[in-house]
Structure 1
């Protein structure tokens, strides 16, 4: 049974979560420019993220199988670093994490969830569109002449 919960520093090992993020994003190594910052996450960088961000975890049979960060930004909650262990994909874990961020956003009074997705990852764009996210703009990473990522949002009714 897949469940989600907030990160608990007394219970959860950041080293394990860093490993999960690295495994989840490894498939993009060498396929997107610039490289995903997720691949350079460390225990220290996650610790710093936790100072201003919420981290939600998915568990499957007591094992951490997914993670996602949520950051309050004005009237929105920014969904970041959605990661699912490749060994257990296609079991609804990403959906459960997105639903968890949505529930969190609603409790904070946010009007929407926002995120960024690389243009080179059309399957990710399609996935978020299926969950009600729409394009709100394009971004260009430093050093590039053309857009490299898409901003998306899901508004609450």
Structure 2
């Protein structure tokens, strides 16, 4: 089995959305408020390219099995968003490969760090990012919540 990660082509976006929806659907009932990732469309992913961002897809033997978005921010960072792996393939290094692609993109485009947010209840995700060298920079509460619901993380690249 061969895993390849590359920027998505326009014809890849429907498959990328499908993977994002499958991955984030597994969080239903675990996170509150629900993730906006379930509202992504091929059109909303395509719009990321207009702002200088990109969408990476991971292919396993040619089939799209993962996706992640990378968007430049005014503070000089790249924001990693919508990291998604087909639920049947979690634990096989796909997420790590997608994160590495975002980090490489950040360096190649002259950005000094990668930032992201992760829900506090998703302890496995937090552990993954910490293992990959990300450090907590703060916590936030989603609108309508008095206590933090997410953690901000950052890594210099």
TM-score with structure 2 length normalisation? 0.92
Report the CA distance between 1:124 and its aligned residue.
0.8
Structure 2 unaligned blocks of 5 or more: none
Report the CA distance between 1:31 and its aligned residue.
1.1
Q: What is the CA–CA distance in structure 2 between the aligned matches of 1:49 and 1:35, rounded to whole Å?
A: 22
Q: What is the CA–CA distance in structure 1 between the aligned matches of 2:81 and 2:17, rounded to whole Å?
A: 14
Report the CA distance between 1:15 and its aligned residue.
2.4
Report the CA distance between 1:26 and its aligned residue.
1.2
Aligned-partner SS, 2:154? strand
In the other structure, the counterpart of 1:17 is 16
Q: CA-to-partner distance for each residue in 1:115-149, whole Å, 9 max, x for gaps?
A: 00001111111110000000001111111111110
Runs of 4+ in 1 over 4 A off after TM superposition: none
Give the alignment's Cα RMSD to 1 decimal: 1.2
1:147 aligned onto 2:155: no
1:129 aligned onto 2:130: yes
Q: What is the CA–CA distance in structure 1 between the aligned matches of 2:107 and 2:45, rounded to whole Å?
A: 24
Q: What is the CA–CA distance in structure 1 between the aligned matches of 2:140 and 2:128, rounded to whole Å?
A: 19
Aligned-partner SS, 1:120? coil
Aligned-partner SS, 1:22? helix
Q: What is the CA–CA distance in structure 1 between the aligned matches of 2:93 and 2:49, rounded to whole Å?
A: 25
Q: What is the CA–CA distance in structure 2 between the aligned matches of 1:88 and 1:35, rounded to whole Å?
A: 23
Q: What is the CA–CA distance in structure 2 between the aligned matches of 1:97 and 1:37, rounded to whole Å?
A: 20
Give the number of equivalent residue pairs.
154
Q: What is the CA–CA distance in structure 1 between the aligned matches of 2:83 and 2:50, rounded to whole Å?
A: 18
Instruction: Spell out the pairing of 1:88-107 with structure 2 (5 A cutoff).
Output: 88-107=89-108
TM-score with structure 1 length normalisation? 0.92
In the other structure, the counterpart of 1:34 is 33
